[in-house]
Amino acid sequence: MLEAVIFDMDGVLIDSEPFHLDVNEKIFENLGINLSEDEYLSFIGTTHKDMWTTIKNRYNLPQGVPELVNMQISGNIEYIKNEEIEEINGITNLLSRINSENIKIGIASSSPTEVIELVTNKLGIRDYFSSIVGGEEIKKGKPAPDIFLKAAKCLNVKPSDCIVIEDSKNGVLAAKAAGMKCVGFKNPNSGNQDLQKADLIINDYDSLSVNTLRTLFQYIK
């Protein structure tokens, strides 16, 4: 039965992929590397550490992974602090509907906890979340299930009683590997992500009711 809903953040709570791309493209330019669109999109949903470990090895970068990760985090924080950010349309209403049914709500994001706290506080939605798990808290990032299993533990619920809302292929695979139901949110700014493993795919939040979430436990997929 439905006990908790766990949200990814980037591309799910906030349409962050466009400014992530802008920040990262500046870093790539400074490093003298050129990633293809498909190569870049393959990193959506993964941790900063995983992304930069791959890029460092692929392009033989002299910088250490921690330094590269810090470049990205610093760029994202600067943007969030100084620019206007908006929630994805309908997310506050969805959080309110879930909360009104006394269902626990958490975040499990590949972004660092510091960034998640900054975003949710700036959007005024922090109080909806009983637990936040950031990418730096787990050893294996998505598509491994670790982050969602930790989120369930923090919420004190069984994985089988959780629904994850994700916008990336890596996130969907991680949710299913954790034994959870998954709603795939098609965010066009996240690229053409393969969400077919999700139990339900949606284009917006306005039509997503708590009753619809509960019905996912009536079917096996």
Contacts of 170 (CB under 8 A, 6+ apart): 44, 45, 46, 141, 142, 143
Nearest CA-CA partner of 52 in 37, 29, 38, 70: 70
Locate 96 and state its tokens.
């309110």
pLDDT at 219 > cutoff 70: no
Q: What is the pLDDT of residue 220?
A: 53
Model confidence pLDDT, tens digit, residues 24-65: 999 999 999 999 988 988 888 788 888 999 999 999 999 999
pLDDT per residue as tens digits for the range 199-213:
999 999 998 999 999
Q: Considering the chain, what percentage of its residues have pLDDT values greater than 70? A: 99
The torsion defined by the Cα of 81, 41, 135 and 109, in degrees rounded to 10, comes to: 70
pLDDT digits (tens, 9 = 90+) for 92-106: 999 999 999 999 999
Round to whole Å and give the CA distance between 161 and 6: 11
| Higher pLDDT among residues 201 and 16, named by residue | 201
Distance, C-alpha 208 to centroid of its chain:
18
Range of lowest pLDDT (82-86, 141-145, 205-209): 82-86
CA distance 166 to 146: 15
Close Cβ partners of 201 (under 8 Å, ≥ 6 residues apart): 183, 184, 185, 186, 195
Specify the CATH number of the domain 4-15+87-218: 3.40.50.1000
Q: Where are the domains of the chain?
A: 4-15+87-218, 17-82
Task: Decide yes or no: CATH 1.10.1740 for domain 17-82.
Answer: no
